[in-house]
Amino acid sequence: MIKKWLFCGSIAFLSLFLNDINAYVYQISVMKKVIDPQLSQEQLVIGIGDYHDKDHPANADQRAYLEALLKKCRAIKSKLIVEDLSSVNSDGRGMCCNLFINAQGGLLGKLADKARAECIDVDNVEYRFCRVVGIGPLINSYQNNQQKNNSSATIIPVQEVCKEFLQELDKVQHYNDGVVANRFYKKIIGDVSKSFNHLKIDKVKDQAVAHYCAQEYKNNYIKSLEKLCIFDSPIIDAKIIHSIVSSPEKSIIIVAAGGSHLEKINMQLELLGYCKVIIPVVTNHMYQVVESLLNSGKKGKSHVYRPPAINMQVLDQFFVP
């Protein structure tokens, strides 16, 4: 998903390159709920789960199919919920300080912008721009055995990482979507708050991300960086559920996100009264080695099992004219 980093200063441009990250669809789910029995009004929630693999041959075809699907959505009451680092999110954010992520290509890159161009209702729930801009170069330089003095990690202060997390946490704390959903939010708030406190990054807000990581993560450096990247991933789950619950008028909602998010979302939707139409069989001990947000997993490891790409045409039946 992340192709290169571009720092737009008032005088000069600083380019920071990371590994290409594309993705392919390995998981599709469909959940259904009768929203209004008297009007026979139903809502479908279609989940499209991606797996990070920049070399998979299914990438281009699946992206083309997804874009064609968006065109079909123009004729119905629909919504796209997506985690897309390369598009402006639903709060108008799309960069950190003066850095933005150029992630064109891949399955989800610029998907929010594409849907907006088709006049489709979009909720881009991604918010971890400073996290990726600040930590991505550290992971990349570690893997490539090279340090970059002009890394964005030396520019981004820890306080920016703290701020974007605390702002999202505050939003989730104000969600009020009924007893079942609120219970889900409450657990997430407790879990991510505990993880945040363990990181102790709120006490070094003035330090640059690179300095903080160098000082704190002398042991298990790469694993610590990964943890810092994804400690609050459940907030994405909360944002997706809130977006669905807030849209009872939509007949079809497409959720394009990581497969691990979809599993949790579908479990929660079932508690909210949705029934299973299509639910993939997932072997957790094999599939939950999906690489993190920054594609930090290394290829060639014997324990890594990459799930097969799925035939997305199974969704055609839900878009019959």
- Check residue 103 and give its pLDDT: 63
Task: Report the chain (321 residues): mean pLDDT per 10 consecutive residues.
Answer: 30 27 73 87 91 69 89 94 91 82 70 93 94 80 55 79 94 98 98 91 81 79 82 96 97 91 94 92 42 43 62 89 72
Most distant CA atoms of the chain, gap in Å: 64
Global pTM reads 0.84
Q: Cite the beta strand spans of the chain per DSSP E.
A: 4-8, 13-17, 23-36, 41-52, 78-82, 95-96, 99-102, 121-124, 252-258, 275-278
- Check residue 135 and give its pLDDT: 82
- Check residue 9 and give its pLDDT: 26
In residues, how long is the chain?
Answer: 321
- Check residue 177 and give its pLDDT: 98
